Structure 1
Amino acid sequence: MSPESETVARRLAGEPAAGRGDALAFCSASTAGRRRHNDDACAICNPHDTELYRRGALAAVADGVASAEAGGEAARAAISGFLSDYYSTPETWSVKQAAARVLHSLNSWLYRQGGGGEIRQSWLTTFSAAIFKGSSAHLIHIGDSRIYRWRDGRLECLTRDHSRTLGPGRTFLSRALGMDAHVEVDYRCEALRPGDIYLICSDGVHDYLPPEMITDILTDSGDAAAQALVDAAMSCASTDNLSAAVCRVQSVAMPSDDDLLNHNRHLPFPPDLSPGNRMDGYLILQELHASSRSQLYLARDMETDELRVLKTPSINFCDDPAYIERFIAEEWTGRRLDHPGIIKIFPPDPKRQFLYHVFEYVDGQNLRQWMQLHPAPSVQQVREMIGQLVSGLRRLQRMEIVHGDLKPENIMVGADGRLKLIDLGGADGPGLRERQLLSHDAPPGSKNYAAPEYFFGDSPSHRADIFSLGVIAYELLTGHYPYRERFGSRHYQLKSYAGLRYVSACQYRDDIPDWIDAALQKACAPDPRNRYPALSEFVRDLQTPRPEFLRRHQQPMMERNPLLFWQLVALLLLLSHLLHFL
């Protein structure tokens, strides 16, 4: 990488070649060495404030494959593209997921640039990066560059080379970005300790320096370690390009957002509140709702005079860690969503004395109450309502979040007719799991709206929300559930998907077209593989008949519903026998 290109990379990263923060200290160096061009790319990124909390700091090295004509361009594109795209990923994505998505996209672009042809013509590069977020180091690696960690006097290589030996002094890469249409990247997560030193370097450095020399330089050279490693490798007759990036872990401190989460875990539950009580600057006006799990209060912010809704946890769960984690997760999730169709959760006062959430106040009623007042809405009205809900759910899906508890009680209908999704207590997503807010066993929502796969212990997906939405649409139109109502305890048991038999919506309303009934049946199919893969398809099929649904209506009954056909045949045979004996 040329000095000019290196400066650009650092500028993209938002940090000079040597940068020092409260917890991490970085330095980097890259040179062409004895070669005419530098096909390496090296960059560090130590952002401040929000970006550091969201995505962490990172150091990365890419080594363009010398036998590929565009190796240098591939290395520079990989570094600049990763820096740009990684910091643009949603906060709810885990580091592993975000890095994998970005590298998959970069690999596809590099592969297309090379035309998928001979290696000589391709854009090939190695890529190794260490992402430092919170108390962890996330290592991303493909190729033969290496990531080392020095800890307690011992140097350890944390990656394995993706190369094969052909003979003395002859190796070739078995994996690299741009080599194949599909890429396999190594991922490893390491707990950080104060005093750790991480080194990312190309083979022009590690192939020419013994571990003892690397150790001496890392421990003795301070902020000049990266340049000292490059100079030492040059002195040891390195014939390749040389790049090194070093990170010193000076202290391990969780980002302020995680500090707040940890603080919340230790907050006491508020007492039962009554009108006239004051809590952290809020005047309680009235209790809106109370259940065994939480309470909702209408309150006035005494500083802004705005109406707010406070949600407090039930004292019944004060010693239940899983409940507390999910309660905290609701706030974490809501504060990262900004959509008119999703309830707004306001950031709390860091000095608050109790654990609770602050929601916007919606003047209206929940969908259950609305349905009781409007028992037979028109098909067009239901279409419009489902369209509003889909808009909010799409926002959740883009953030890789599953609502997990869609039901009429968790949907507000404002005085202006707008619908809002509320109660994110059942939400799930990789960003929540990364912060260890949630266990891997997500509890199912309400029995009659929760997707069947929840009761088999499967991981939630956006198709679970599609099932719940289909049940809500069905109930809006008919006032009934599409399947037999589920009674009993919360630990509902389901033996197989076949145990759920869909009841046609046309049995309750004769003005519902068969093709809309078919769309409802597909949306809330018991087996998630048979449901709509996308919300947009469900909305489209509620608006316009799908040809296959029209053909299904024209099929003979035996093909459309063989079970009903043979039940009718059996009934006719029974009646004929009875008439014969009469």
Structure 2
Amino acid sequence: MSLSVRLGHASLTGPRARNEDFVGAVTPEGAELDNKGLLAALADGVGGHADGREAAEFTVRSLLCDYYATPDTWAVPKALDKVIGAANRWLVSQSAKRGEAAGMATTLTAVVLRGRRWISSHVGDTRLYLLRDGALKRLTVDHVWEHPELSTVLSRAVGLDRHLAVDYAEGELAVGDRFLICCDGVWGTLNEARLLAILEKYDDPQEAAFALADSAVDSGSQDNCSALVLQVDVLPRDTLRDALSRIRALPLPPVMKPGQQIDGLTVEDVLHESRITMLYRVRAVDGTLAVLKTLRPDADAQDTAALAHEEWLARRVTDAAFPQVLEWPQRSHLYYLMSWHEGETLAQRLARGHRFTAVEVADLGQRLMKALGALHRLAVIHRDVKPANLHLGHDGRLRLLDLGVAASDGHDELFNEINNPGTPSYMAPELFGDGRASEATDLYAAGVTLYELLTRKYPYGEVEPFQRPRFGDPVPATRYRPDTPEWLESILLKACARDPAQRFETAEECLLALERGAHRPLQVPRRRPLAQRDPQLALKLLAAVSLLANVVMIALLLRR
């Protein structure tokens, strides 16, 4: 059972010379409906402007097209904000380039219905209403200034200003909910009592939309009259996607040994086992090797939900720097398959005594930053970057493993982690307090990883589980490896900085520093000033110096 919505729309020119409104909606099916939802939008071009209609149409078309091109891992508000922001920048640029286009702008109100929730975005004075249980509730606030000579003046609109602020709201859906998006030509002519009466009179959303627009024109509206009505008929079974629900309903396999079979797959080796998870290397009938990840038989419902989420996430990370999820239609148990790659992890290389050179570390750092950049662009935080999760294949490619504790924007709150998120020695200082995992904490872990590959040490020393470490200044890599180039040491120190503000802001920034290398070396302070390291000691020293100066001055005065 999936979301089922009926919708209708109407847009009349009214007494105006041209219609500057634009209405649109996308009603996807299947996985796209589950992942992205249904999107409907209405825009009202700034009245009287030559390009008002163009602004409205461009904004709605861009939103309807580009929203579905954003990663599924993005939260809905983030995806909407990115697309609307891009449309705003384009309109502003057109106003700056062409004199006749100066001031082209539009209002915009949109709603996404996904799963059992609605999410709205709004800027301007178009409105969104919700009719539920006989009561009509307005969900948006008009962005207008009162003007003594004009009815209203927009304070916010797409294309009006380079810095656009969009209102977002969300809530739970219920069967029978009816959403209305309309322009000021409708709501400014028909009061809420008449809007409610028309919506309740017509069961068909298309008839209701036509009736709203016609009534506004007949009642003397001096503007274009547009309305879009959405009727929620069926809701999904629960708040989780149907696909995840099916996966979680599968039984867990028993603990397996080499030689055993499951769903046509033969277990060749046990790669890893933890308190909850199991990893096997398996071979299909056609000889294809794969990694099978599952849980121990005593795992609980939260663990199975976490594994389902991990598979959902891994399917969307399609970059070559990550193992790829493999389809297996015969699956009758709770597990998922990943591509197998011959090679070893960087931790295994360290264990067998490999001594990484500065050149190797810089090269691995570049490849690691490209992988993290691809992950962060999907709004996914890895949370456990370390040598044991970096695999160097026989094909020469570096791959980032294990999304078991990864956090995805807008989805991680639905699931508990299978394991503790992070390994203490690679966790940023703020994670030992109230800080949350972020791109900055991933980059810190990457910096510690590169530092360890080069020196076999940690910049702040090894951190044991359940320990609350104190972070001073990181030990320069040259203490352990005097042959470390100064430019590389500077990059490692910045990546491992105690203060998040002192680290690289993005993986791309760190990648650029590594690519520039000695040609344009990075300059970073090697040691924090005393006032930052110990403010109280600095004040005490200042007071002592001041006291000594006063004593000297008194002695000189007494000699006179």
Tell me the TM-score range normalised by the shorter chain.
Answer: 0.7 to 0.9
Matches within 5 A, 1:389-400: 389-400=368-379
- Aligned with residue 502 of structure 2, among 520, 526, 530: 530
- Aligned with residue 430 of structure 1, among 396, 406, 409: 409
C-alpha offsets along residues 383-416 of structure 1, whole Å, 9 cap, x if unaligned? 2222222222221022111111011111222223
Instruction: Name structure 1 gaps, 5 residues minimum.
Output: 1-20, 564-582
Matches within 5 A, 1:513-528: 513-528=485-500
Whether the 8 Å CA contact 2:494–2:524 is kept in 1: the answer is no
What is the one-letter code of the residue matched to 1:455? F
Q: Does 1:468 align with 2:445?
A: yes
Alpha-carbon separation, structure 1, partners of 2:361 and 2:210: 66
TM-score scaled by length of structure 2: 0.87
Alpha-carbon separation, structure 1, partners of 2:435 and 2:531: 29
Higher relative contact order, structure no. (Cα contacts within 8 Å, ≥ 6 residues apart): 2
C-alpha offsets along residues 436-473 of structure 1, whole Å, 9 cap, x if unaligned? 2358x995411111222221232222221211111111
Whether the 8 Å CA contact 1:442–1:460 is kept in 2: the answer is no
SS in 2 for 1:170: coil
Alpha-carbon separation, structure 2, partners of 1:526 and 1:112: 40
Alpha-carbon separation, structure 1, partners of 2:524 and 2:283: 57
Whether the 8 Å CA contact 2:373–2:506 is kept in 1: the answer is no
Alpha-carbon separation, structure 1, partners of 2:112 and 2:368: 37
Tell me the residue number matched to 1:292.
275
Percent identity for Structure 1 against Structure 2: 34
Alpha-carbon separation, structure 2, partners of 1:541 and 1:44: 44
Alpha-carbon separation, structure 1, partners of 2:264 and 2:239: 23
Q: Does 1:274 align with 2:257?
A: yes
Tell me the residue number matched to 2:311.
331
What is the one-letter code of the residue matched to 2:25? I
Tell me the residue number matched to 1:155.
136
Alpha-carbon separation, structure 1, partners of 2:97 and 2:49: 12
- Aligned with residue 128 of structure 1, among 96, 109, 118: 109
Whether the 8 Å CA contact 2:490–2:524 is kept in 1: the answer is no
Per-residue deviation, 1:114: 2.8
C-alpha offsets along residues 243-262 of structure 1, whole Å, 9 cap, x if unaligned? 11111111112699811212
Cα RMSD of the aligned pairs, angstroms, is 3.1
Matches within 5 A, 1:569-580: none
Tell me the residue number matched to 2:91.
110
Alpha-carbon separation, structure 1, partners of 2:245 and 2:363: 42
Alpha-carbon separation, structure 2, partners of 1:53 and 1:356: 21
Tell me the residue number matched to 2:339.
360
Alpha-carbon separation, structure 2, partners of 1:433 and 1:559: 39
SS in 1 for 2:152: strand
Whether the 8 Å CA contact 2:122–2:166 is kept in 1: the answer is yes
Instruction: Name structure 2 gaps, 5 residues minimum.
Output: 534-560
Alpha-carbon separation, structure 1, partners of 2:524 and 2:504: 19
C-alpha offsets along residues 72-111 of structure 1, whole Å, 9 cap, x if unaligned? 2221221112112212111111111111111222222223
Q: Does 1:370 align with 2:345?
A: no
TM-score scaled by length of structure 1: 0.84
Alpha-carbon separation, structure 1, partners of 2:64 and 2:436: 31
Per-residue deviation, 1:558: 11
Alpha-carbon separation, structure 2, partners of 1:542 and 1:374: 25
Instruction: Give the direction of change, closer, same or farther, for the CA distance of 1:320–1:259 in structure 2 (3 Å limit).
Output: closer
Question: What number of residue pairs does the alignment pair up?
Answer: 530
Instruction: Give the direction of change, closer, same or farther, for the CA distance of 1:551–1:244 in structure 2 (3 Å limit).
Output: closer
Alpha-carbon separation, structure 2, partners of 1:429 and 1:378: 34
Matches within 5 A, 1:5-404: 23-115=4-96, 121-166=102-147, 170-221=151-202, 222=204, 223-253=206-236, 258-302=241-285, 304-315=286-297, 318-319=299-300, 321=302, 323-347=303-327, 349=329, 352-404=331-383
Per-residue deviation, 1:180: 2.1
Tell me the residue number matched to 1:16.
none
Which stretch of structure 1 is more off in the superposition, 324-333 or 470-479? 324-333
Alpha-carbon separation, structure 2, partners of 1:418 and 1:163: 55
Tell me the residue number matched to 1:502.
474
Whether the 8 Å CA contact 1:53–1:257 is kept in 2: the answer is no
Alpha-carbon separation, structure 2, partners of 1:561 and 1:186: 42
Tell me the residue number matched to 2:468.
493
C-alpha offsets along residues 117-161 of structure 1, whole Å, 9 cap, x if unaligned? 999941121111111111111111111111111112222222122
Instruction: Give the direction of change, closer, same or farther, for the CA distance of 1:205–1:412 in structure 2 (3 Å limit).
Output: same
What is the one-letter code of the residue matched to 2:452? E
SS in 1 for 2:381: coil
Alpha-carbon separation, structure 1, partners of 2:411 and 2:425: 26
Q: Does 1:479 align with 2:462?
A: no
Alpha-carbon separation, structure 2, partners of 1:422 and 1:71: 50
Instruction: Give the direction of change, closer, same or farther, for the CA distance of 1:98–1:239 in structure 2 (3 Å limit).
Output: same
Instruction: Give the direction of change, closer, same or farther, for the CA distance of 1:169–1:156 in structure 2 (3 Å limit).
Output: farther
What is the one-letter code of the residue matched to 1:377? F
Alpha-carbon separation, structure 2, partners of 1:148 and 1:493: 51
Which stretch of structure 1 is more off in the superposition, 65-74 or 468-477? 65-74
SS in 1 for 2:424: coil
Matches within 5 A, 1:534-553: 534-543=506-515, 544-545=517-518, 549=522
Per-residue deviation, 1:319: 3.2
Instruction: Give the direction of change, closer, same or farther, for the CA distance of 1:121–1:380 in structure 2 (3 Å limit).
Output: closer
Whether the 8 Å CA contact 1:470–1:520 is kept in 2: the answer is yes
